[in-house]
Amino acid sequence: MNLSISGLSKTYPNGVAALRNVSLTISSGIFGLLGPNGAGKSTLMRILATLQAPDSGTVHLGELDLLEQKYEVRRQLGYLPQEFGLYPRISAESMLNHLAVLKGIRNTKNRREVVQAVLHKTNLFLDRKKNLGGFSGGMKQRFGIAQALLANPQLLIIDEPTAGLDPTERNRFHNLLSELAEETIVILSTHIVDDVKELCCDMAILLNGEILLQAPPLAAINAFAGKVYQKSIGKSEMPLYRQQYRVISEKLFLGQPVIHVLSDTHPRNGFRECTVDLEDVYFAQVIEQNMSRAERKYHAV
Amino acid sequence: MLYEIIRFELQYRAKRPETCVYFAILFFCSLFAVNFIFEGNLSPVKENAPHIIAFTMAAAAGIFMMITSLIMGIPVLRDFDYNTAPLLFSAAMTKSEYLFGRFLGSFLILLVVFAALPLGILAGEAMPWRDAGNLLPFNAQTYWQPLLYLVFPALLYSSMIFFASSIISRKLIVVCTQGILFFIAMLLARAIEDPLLSAVLDPFGLRPLQLASQFQTTIELNSMPLTVDANLIYNRFFWLALGSLSFALAARRFNFDIVNSRTSKKHDATPDRQFQSTSPNITIPPAILCDGWTDSLAQLLSHTRFHFQIILKDMWFWVIMICAIVIVFINSINLGTTFGVDSYPTTYLIVEELQEMSIWFFLIILVFFSGELIWKERDARMDLIQDALPVSDAINLTGKFLALTCIYITLMSLLIFSGIVFQTINGFYEYEPLVYFSGFYIEILPYFLLYSFIAFAFQVMVNRKFVAYILVLLFLISTMLLEVFGFDHGLFRFGGQNLHTYSEMNGYGHFLKPYAWFKLYWLAFCIVLFVATVISSVRGIDTSIAARLKTARFRLTRPLFAAASLAALIFCMSGGYIFYNTNVLNTYFTRSMRHDFQASYENTLKRFEYLPQPKIIAANLRVDLFPARRAWRVDGHYILVNKHSEGIDKIHVQKLPDDDLAIEVLEFSEHTSADTVHKSFGHYIYDLERTLLPGDSITMRFRQTFTTKGFVESGSDLGIVHNGTFLNSDLLPTLGYSRKFELRDKGIRADKDLPPRRQRAPRNDTRELANARSGEDGYQIDLEITVITDSDQIALAPGQLKSTWEDGNRAYFHYKTKHPIIDLYPIMSARYEVRRERWLSSDSLTAEPVDLEIYHHPGHKYNLDRMMSAMKRSLDYYSTNFSPYQYQHLRIVEFPRYREFAQSLPGIIPFSEGAGFILDIDDETDVDMCFFVTAHEVAHQWWGMQLAAANVQGRGMILESLAQYSALMVLKQHFPREKIRQFLATQQDLYLKGRSRARTKEQPLSLVEAHQYVHYNKGAINFYALQELISEDSVNLALGRFLCDWGFGSRLSKGRYATSADLLHYFREVTPDTMHDVIDELFNQVILYDNRIVAAQYSKTNQDSYLVELELEATKIQVDTLGNESSLPLRNWIEVAIYGEGQEGKEIALHSERYFFDTARNSLQIALDSKPTKASIDPFHLLIDRRPENNHKTLK
């Protein structure tokens, strides 16, 4: 089953264009939606979660029109919002149980099995009787995953899940996701490149409401193979390098700036070729887009 | 810095739209405030009288406490909500600067907002619906006084408390709802009996106002400024102290830190387990998804249960529940009656009390939890998860609605449980589960459900929780206002009528059917509204109403559409059916149509009022009652005689202008031609071909039917009901103009350009002197009547029961009077049980035995013995002291409690279910009011039946005061003196309350018009005082002579009926000349006293001898007809009593003597031979005193 998005646009009343003519085709497996804060990721995710109507465009989940057949889509949907709260005075188990009923799992035995299974999966089993109000940030996030996993979702929409997690928790979360993704479309939005690198078989980069790139991470990396060079430079030299090279990233390594530049040929001058990272692809895309926008602006003037 | 913070607050608030909205709401509501709070019926108290304005302002400040709470609670919360707290608190600012700055800034804004209150009230006076005649000229003091003493302190202390609780709790929910606690405090304060405590604890200061004004008369209310008495001062001081204290405590506890320490601790308490699965091999089993309608139903139930559980875990729910129950038990379910005696805690009385006490709690739950439920997910920020679930909007909202329903049911069940506990505690075990059930689940649950639909709709459509709260409140108020303004047809007024009073005799009777139809009609309306609510509810993040309305069309699923269409169909059809019943089958009169009719009746026909008409001397009737279909028919004839000195050409027959009544046949034994020009008034003029000469008679034969057609909007007939029919002869055709149809209300009469109407004609009005009632049709009549009713009922009418038989399912009762009776008699029928006894006059050689019968509802046996004994003892006393009893029977007949009175008619006493049958008299503590009321009614067999009074001023003194006197003498004969004292104390209290509520000037007893507080309450006191002064025998001697001269048949010989002047003449005859001024004082003047004991002490002079020294003060005040008071020189005999401790600690009188006082201040020395405890001046309350409590003093 595929999720196909075509020509999706959304402009908010205050004039911000969150999505501009976004088209994507997503199949089973984990799909990473990468983009900086404010790129329109959450808007896209909410549209896919049937919570917001686009101004134009269509979305289909298999045969289903996601914008019209909301109920049918919701029956196959698991959604973990970027930010959410929980009823404080309800235990994890009874909350999941209730949500399972609302997702249509009526058979009591089956429901109990499912709820227990997701509790085990998210390691909340021992805390299942505890009130949600007493949950820590990580536990809350796990609860969010647990509820999204109820009722065999075919489409799992996970918005910035790792934002509040520490590194170990993040790893374990990734393991869980990859386990699930075999027959499910999992859409994972994040601004952390590593999330995508580690998990996703396909990805897209979203910036200012536009898709800059859709490709499997490996293919994207390969496309840049041999084009990225790095150099350790002095702090004062930055402006100079920026003028002369297409600098895609600046990082500090032991307090010294290290820059990555994009170049079809070897720039010499102390640069050396480096292995391309997904991050380079991402920054390269972001820089390119910003430059082309700046150019467009310039031309318009 | 402080100044800066205040300035910031002011600037910020000035720009916020809420500030203007609050101001606007307050201003708008204040326009209506006076009319709303006093329900538009104040006259003759002016609508801007100081007390009225003060009460209105204090009440409004209380009602709008939520605004105070929001304004005062938000500022600190805002800093936390918007996460500005860390930035602010790290700035260079001290804690006190921060707190005081925020507080003062907000408080200033609050004062500005509440300036709308006086402005709105003032502007309201200029509104078109206000009548300048009901207003006093503007007086600034009227406004600044309550602002200073009531509104400002209330705002200040409540602000301090609200501010304090918001900085401690930091929860919006607390801020928004804490006002409820004050409301509950007010209810608690009201329930407390001790006046000072009750006054001090009332947070809104209403109770001190009520106490201060309870004995004030209209004139005092209109002229005196707000009473700032000790109660009020203590009250204000107490609450301000409480406010300051909580502010100080909160300020001390307020940590200038960022994270609320309590919640952060909670997080630490939970050890964080890692993400890794405990059993990594587990796979999630496939879920079996169901999608049938039964599955939806299961979802609905689960959702309902879930939300119900959430509310059950809500602290506020339990606060409200507990308060409701506490109120019930503090108030202790007041079963007191106006007689000062409690009723048995029968289930229906308990239900009524519980309903009354709990209504506010239900309203709080309604308004508050409807918002909570709608906003539940969003408040918990779970809305995105919830909204992406495959649950239909209908299930979501319906589940919440049902959860709210469960809440109502829970509270109701809890109340029922409390009621049963209360009954058990009181040793009453006749629980009636069905009455409990219907009283809550049928009478009031539908009401709250309908309003819950409205609340849901507002919450969803407006999509702002607090705005919706206020709109729901305004909606509630506006439906009440509609009623005040007379747009009260249940088809327009949301929710329709309440269910009519429950009666043990008649159940809900015929009222249930229209009630059910109206509720069905509004329920259908609400379902359509609910569907609209569902399809426009917020789902996802597009919350603008435009976006929601755009998608609403798609969300109208087929089942929803079907439900809405069906409901719309039911709405239209039930509406049509109701309209057909109320407006087609029956004529619907709005209030103003009714007034127009009455005015035009008077304008057109008043000229016939004193037209000579023949008098009825005999009536022969056959009355068919059909209780099941609420119909009756009368066939019969009157014999009319011309008792005037001139001939009569025209006979005016008046039918009650009631559509259900129809005269089918009306013919005379002489040739007549009917003039039907006034048919619309039910007034027919028959021209006699041959003049009816003086002394000639004519027979009037008629058939009149009463048919119930469908049901009416309101005011359905209470005469004929399924069980407990009580009809009066004035429903039959009458002769001449009927004064009782005239408009009575002064203001309405003025609007219709009608002259002022006197309640009673002056004592020199010769035309009314000839009438015992307005438009009397016969002086003395012979009555022969056959009443036919369903065979399971017994029918009653005056006269001897000649025979009774059954024919099929109909029972026949044939009554015939032996002696003529007055032309006013009842016809009654119900399923009765009968208690029969006999009474023989002490003069048993000449008198026949009298059959005493009580016809009562089978369950109502509690007080039959008391009634029976009262009947016997009264007959004994009256026949010995006044004159023999005139009939061979005396019947007490119970009727449903739709009307609560007892009435005496010839040989028959209709006695309301609610007026004595269920009194729970404790012989230790209570006066046996059942005995008293029975004795009073039996006395009317003399005062009213034997001797009729002229229909002029003072009529009530002859009929009612003499009945009070007679009953009191029977009471005195058979009960200890202490009971008399208790009785008189109650009478004095009722009199003082009555005169303070009176709308017209107070008349002395001999000129009383129709004021019960004068002829009943003051009558009892003054007649008792009279017999104390001139002796019981002298009074009875005078009354015997009065009866002898003005009794039976004297109307024809004297040409008129007796007046109070005549009665006073007989009293003077038996009073020594020196005491004639006392008669004058008791009956011709309005006199008040202020008697008190200034100081009282005793000393032991010897073994077994004590000397009591008293300082007494007595003032006599005369009240003139305008209500002005002036002091009179004192020349009175006043009783002074000393009490001591008798056996078993009971209080006994050691000394009681009348002393002559002619100076205001007096000292007395009284020697006693046992130890005194208490002294009283005028212990029997014979001199009416507005401060009776200072008539007693404990001796030291």
Long-range contacts of the stretch B472-481 (C-beta < 8 A, 24+): B472/B366, B472/B367, B472/B370, B473/B367, B474/B25, B474/B29, B476/B363, B476/B451, B477/B29, B477/B32, B477/B36, B480/B36, B481/B32, B481/B35, B481/B36
Nearest CB among A74, A88, A152 relative to B287 is that of A152
Q: Is the peptide bond before B44 cis (omega within 30 degrees of 0)?
A: yes
Query: Which B residues 549-588 touch A at CB under 8 Å?
Result: 551, 554
pLDDT at position B336 is: 64
Using the predicted structure, report yes or no on whether residue B626 has a pLDDT greater than 60.
yes
Say which range, A133-147, B319-333, B432-446, B722-736, has the weakest mean pLDDT. Answer: B319-333
Which pLDDT value is given to residue B497? 83
Contacts of the segment B507-514: beta carbons below 8 A, 24+ positions apart: B507/B722, B507/B723, B508/B438, B509/B721, B509/B722, B509/B723, B509/B896, B510/B630, B510/B708, B510/B711, B510/B716, B510/B721, B510/B722, B511/B716, B513/B711, B514/B578, B514/B581, B514/B582, B514/B711, B514/B712, B514/B713, B514/B716
Interface membership of B267 toward A (CB under 8 Å): yes
Selected residue of A120, A141, A166, A175 to mutate for chain B interface (largest B Cβ count, 10 A): A120
Query: Where does the pLDDT of residue B281 fall: very low under 50, low under 70, confident under 90, or very high at 90 and above?
Result: low
Tens digits of residue pLDDT in B925-934 = 889 999 999 9
Neighbours of B1100 (CB within 10 A): 10
Chain B residues touching A160 at Cβ < 8 A = none
Q: What is the pLDDT of residues B174-200, one digit of tens each?
A: 776 677 778 778 877 877 777 888 888
Q: Which of B283, B295, B384 lies nearest to residue A81, judging by beta carbons?
A: B384
**B282 in A contact zone (CB under 8 Å):** yes
pLDDT digits (tens, 9 = 90+) for A46-89: 999 999 889 999 999 988 998 888 888 999 999 999 888 888 88
The residue of chain A nearest to residue B384, with distances taken between CA atoms, is A81
Q: Is there a contact between B380 and A173 if contact means CB atoms under 8 Å apart? A: no
Put simply, the answer to whether B276 touches A172 (Cβ < 8 Å) is yes
| Residue B270 pLDDT | 46
Helix (H) or strand (E) holding B1155: strand B1147-1157
Least-confidence region, from A110-124, A231-245, B367-381, B392-406: A231-245
Residue A132 C-alpha, separation from nearest chain B C-alpha, in angstroms: 11
Compute the average pLDDT of residues B557-578.
95
pLDDT (0 to 100) of residue B966: 96
Is B315 part of the contact surface with chain A (CB cutoff 8 Å)? no
Closest A-chain CA to B539: A51
Q: DSSP characters for B343-401? A: BP--HHHHHHHHHHHHHHHHHHHHHHHHHHHHHHHHHTT-HHHHHTSS--HHHHHHHHH
Angstroms from B260 CA to nearest CA on chain A: 14
The pLDDT assigned to B260 comes to 43
* Paired tokens of B996: 């303070």
Average pLDDT, chain B: 87
Please report the pLDDT score of residue B259 as a whole number.
43
ipTM comes to 0.90
B282, B380, B385 ranked by CB distance to A81: nearest: B385
Which tokens sit at B1014?
A: 């004068």
Q: What is the pLDDT of residues B854-886, one digit of tens each?
A: 999 998 999 999 999 999 999 999 999 999 999
Residue-wise pLDDT for A78-117, tens only, equals 999 988 888 888 999 999 999 999 998 988 999 999 999 9
Residue B387 sits at the chain A interface (C-beta within 8 Å): yes
Tell me which chain A residues have a C-beta less than 8 angstroms from the C-beta of B290.
104-107
pLDDT of B267 reads 42
In chain A, the residue whose alpha carbon lies closest to the alpha carbon of B284 is: A117
Chain B residues touching A155 at Cβ < 8 A: none
B1102 at interface of A, judged by CB pairs closer than 8 A = no
Give the model's pLDDT for residue A297: 57
Nearest Cβ partner of A120 from B278, B290, B551?
B278
Least confident stretch, A253-267, B152-166, B404-418 = A253-267
pLDDT of residue B265: 39
Question: Which of A280-294, B824-838, B970-984 shows the lowest mean pLDDT across its residues?
Answer: A280-294
Q: Closest Cα partner for B783 from B911, B613, B902, B619?
A: B619
Q: Find the residue in A nearest to B271 (Cα).
A: A136
Provide the shortest C-alpha distance from residue A17 to chain B (in Å).
16
> B313 and chain A: CB distance < 8 Å anywhere?
yes
Residue among A53, A100, A126 minimizing CB distance to B273: A126
pLDDT tens string B993-1029: 888 777 778 889 999 988 899 999 999 999 999 999 8
Q: Does B547 touch chain A (CB under 8 A)?
A: yes
How are the residues of chain B apportioned to helix, strand and coil, as percentages rounded to the nearest 5? 50, 20, 30
Average pLDDT of the segment spanning B157-177: 80
Q: Which of B84 and A284 is assigned the larger pLDDT? A: A284
Percentage with pLDDT > 90 across chain A: 27
Reply yes or no on whether the pLDDT at A207 is more than 80.
yes
Do the Cβ atoms of B285 and A139 come within 8 Å? no
The predicted-structure confidence for B747-796, as pLDDT tens digits, reads as follows 889 888 999 888 889 999 988 998 888 878 888 899 999 999 999 999 99
3-state secondary structure of B771: coil
In terms of DSSP bridges, do strands A155-159 and A185-190 run parallel, antiparallel, or are they unpaired? parallel
Specify the DSSP element, H or E, that contains B908: strand B908-912
Average pLDDT for A218-246: 83
How confident is the model over A260-284, as pLDDT tens digits?
A: 888 888 888 888 888 887 788 888 8
* Residue B283 forms contact with A (CB below 8 Å): yes
Q: What is the pLDDT of residue B26?
A: 85
* Interface contact flag, B299 A101, Cβ < 8 Å: yes
- The β-bridge partners of A183 are none
Residue located via tokens 């212990």: B1179
With beta carbons under 8 A apart, name residues in chain A contacting B313. 89-90
Q: Could A123 and B273 be called an inter-chain contact, meaning their C-beta atoms sit closer than 8 Å?
A: yes
**Most confidently predicted of B426-440, B559-573, B978-992, B1182-1196:** B559-573
- Lowest-pLDDT range of B11-15, B862-866, B937-941, B1041-1045: B11-15
Q: Evaluate if residue B461 carries a pLDDT over 60.
A: yes
**Which positions in chain A touch B279 (Cβ < 8 Å)?**
120
B540 close to A (CB below 8 A):
yes
pLDDT of B1083 higher than 90: yes
* Fold assignment, A3-216: Rossmann fold (3.40.50)
Residue from B173, B277, B539 whose CB has the most chain A CBs within 10 Å, to mutate: B277
Contacts of B390 in chain A (CB under 8 A): 71-72, 74-75, 77, 102-104
Q: Which fold has domain B1086-1196?
A: Immunoglobulin-like (2.60.40)
Collapsing DSSP to helix, strand or coil, B1123 comes out as: coil
Minimum distance, in Å, between the CA of residue B275 and any CA atom of chain A: 6
Could A102 and B284 be called an inter-chain contact, meaning their C-beta atoms sit closer than 8 Å? no
Rounded mean pLDDT, B626-646: 94
- Give A155→chain B minimum CA distance, Å: 12
Chains A and B: how many Cβ contacts under 8 Å? 171
> Taking CB atoms and an 8 Å cutoff, what residues of chain B touch A61?
none
The chain B residue lying nearest A80, using CA atoms, is B385
Of B149, B148, B146, B155, the C-alpha closest to B121 is: B146
Q: Is the pLDDT of residue B437 over 50?
A: yes
Chain A residues inside the 8 Å CB shell of B382: 84-87
**CB-nearest partner of A123 from B275, B298, B299:** B275
The pLDDT of residue B96: 79
C-alpha distance from A197 to closest chain B C-alpha (Å): 20
| Beta-carbon separation of B274 and A46 below 8 A | no
